[in-house]
Amino acid sequence: MSTVDPDACYGIAPGHRMQWEEVQQSWVILYPEGMVQLNDSAAEALRRCDGRTPLSSVITDLEAAFDEADLSADVLELIDAALQQGWVCLR
């Protein structure tokens, strides 16, 4: 069961940084213990998690950008996994 609140704002966790990695040709999350390479869809979602925008607005934006009907379940699952890994936090 997900504890992700669609009305809450999430952002990259302190001690973590999201950036484009030229060598990898992908977005990554860097942190003191290592690096996580993101797939394109995860990167698009996490780039929109700025700590000020409610997750429901992020989902709406992604649905409009990619002309998809309902991405809620996928985005909630991603954010839940990212929270568990410590990549993002509630702001």
Per 3-state DSSP, what percentage of the chain is helix, strand, and coil (rounded to 5)?
40, 30, 30
pLDDT of residue 3: 85
Residue closest to 46 by CA, chosen among 30, 34, 32, 33? 30
Does residue 22 sit within a domain?
Answer: yes
Number of domains making up the chain: 1
Q: Please give the chain's pLDDT, 91 residues, in tens.
A: 568 999 999 999 999 999 999 999 999 999 998 999 999 999 999 999 999 999 999 999 999 999 999 999 999 999 999 999 999 999 8
Domain that holds residue 43: 9-86
Does residue 52 sit within a domain?
Answer: yes
Q: Say how many C-beta atoms besides its own lie within 10 A of residue 80's C-beta.
A: 15
The CATH number assigned to the domain holding 57 equals 1.10.10.1150
Kindly provide the b/e burial profile for residues 8-33, where b requires at least 16 CB atoms within 10 angstroms of the residue's own CB. Answer: ebbbbbeebebeeeeeeeebbbebee
